[in-house]
Structure 1
Amino acid sequence: MRTVALGVAAALVLAVSACTSEEPETFTGARLDQPYAAPTVELTDTDGAPYSLAADTDKPMTVVFFGYTHCPDLCPLVMNSLSAGLNRLDEDDREQVDMVFVTTDPERDDAAALRDYLDGFGDGYVGLTGDLDDIVAAGDPLHLYVNDGKRLPSGGYDLGGHSTYVLGIDEDDEAVVVWNQETSAVEFATDIHLLLSED
């Protein structure tokens, strides 16, 4: 029995080693040669306090995603990959990163809905809402498309789509990197670590 247990343990070590060797060592996001200035428009966080992506993002890296809690597919896909990527960071790296989720559906995403949604992905995520015009204004300098949602006769909403990019804002209040919806947890973690290591 001991021999079998040792064999299983050895197999697990080899499997972990194989997974580790597959992690990318190069940057997979898109670095911005001309960074986007973080918007100064004030939105509202889930505690009811004003929050600006320019004034209140003081950590070395703030990861920003625009989405909505009723999104059936792409938003949870991106958020799962992103939260799993943040969980892969070591403690030192993780303390240097904030995650901000900006709703594109403020009519339904009030503070309570945002808080409940984000707590399902991780601790300490910042959720922002506000007037739709302000949310559109916040997305514009980041080149993020936010569509004005329309109520359907069925009672649902047609948001018509929104950008599914994730941006990384540095401590100089500039978006310096963009990730697409296909970025994996490993790629998020690797890229964020590389960005933090450059400072």
Structure 2
Amino acid sequence: MPRSGAEARRRLREAALELYLERGFDQTTAAEIAARAGVNERTFFRHFPDKREVLFDGDGDLRAALAQAVAEAPDGLEPFAVLLHAFRRSAQELENTRPYSEPRWKVIAATPALRERELAKHAWLVEAVAEALRRRGTAAGVADLAARTGWAAYQHAVQAWVDEPAQGLSVHLERAFDELRALSSTAPPGPDRTPPN
């Protein structure tokens, strides 16, 4: 039996991922996860409200870390530079947990209920980033747009890193944000704007 709460939580996460990969998410019960982890079902529910949340453990920490990184970014940076600073700080943790994260992504991609949960979690993270930008003085609409666009660039960089792991996630992040800036600087003028001479 695991002796500490942290150890039990870790074993539950690992057991859940193993079972989801072996049997599929829908075919796995909380009781089976608990048994594989060497704890009882009551312990499972002490740590997680349902079997979906096992795969999203740590999202609260990520939310707090991203908000803090935005708050601590150097003064004078434009919003995308602030976001790149924040995402770069979280990249190391993602790189450290890649052996767990990669099979986790496969399970989520194969399970509609988990994809839906992931989208809800992403919206929650984006709102935290937007709020942190607003606290830095970025106008509300701009903060929301920057957070949504920046998160899309972050997700793009993570996927590129999964496909091409030889380069670190920070390299992919830099490239994604460079491409985002290039896209925005070459966007065609809107109907209420005239092209430059």
| Shared fold, TM over 0.5 | no
Instruction: Calculate the TM-score normalised by the size of structure 1.
Output: 0.22
Q: Which has the higher contact order (CA 8 A, sep 6+)?
A: 1
